[in-house]
Amino acid sequence: MTGGWDERVLIWDLREKAPVRRIYGPRICGDGIDVFEGEILTTSWTETDQLQIWDLGTEKLIHKVNWDDGPKTSLEPCKPYAGQFSKNDGSLILAGGSNAYEAKIFDREKLNRHVCTIYGMSREVNTVDFSNKGDKFAIGGSDGYVRIFSMNIIA
């Protein structure tokens, strides 16, 4: 899959010379596409509808994740550059971006509710990643730092 500022996500099949499917809407400006078990996460560099989950088979929108769920850390809206499903079970979404210079985690098992915010960075978040076991996550940004966090998930 590829995406860009043209507000299209192209789904490719390497056996074909052209995209086999398209999703219209997301403005991808970085590492803002991820897939887990037939669902596509897109992060849009916009002030609204920043995180969306799509069905891979039908290209239909399944959910909009409310970025502003939880405490407000900035007067500016966050415009995400990067997003990812947790690798081990896809139950969490991690995303981060510019303007508000923050990263957030959302719990898919609790209707995509906000569960964590990392804020106060001096520059934007350009990339995010979960560990394979799902017990750690990392965010990296234009300030030159990679921050690694351990998670203690309480059911």
CATH number of the domain bearing residue 146: 2.130.10.10
Is residue 123, in this structure, part of any structural domain at all?
A: yes
Is residue 12, in this structure, part of any structural domain at all?
A: no
Is residue 140, in this structure, part of any structural domain at all?
A: yes
pLDDT of residue 155: 60
Number of domains in the chain: 1
Identify the domain containing residue 51 by its residue range.
29-150
- Those residues of the chain that have pLDDT short of 70 are 153-155
What pTM did the predictor assign? 0.93
Instruction: Give tens-digit pLDDT for 84-93.
Output: 999 999 999 9
pLDDT of residue 152: 83
**How many CB atoms are located within 10 Å of the residue 90 CB?**
19
* CA angle (37, 151, 84) in 5-degree steps: 35
Q: What SS3 class is residue 47?
A: coil
Is residue 102, in this structure, part of any structural domain at all?
A: yes
Is residue 16, in this structure, part of any structural domain at all?
A: no
Is residue 97, in this structure, part of any structural domain at all?
A: yes
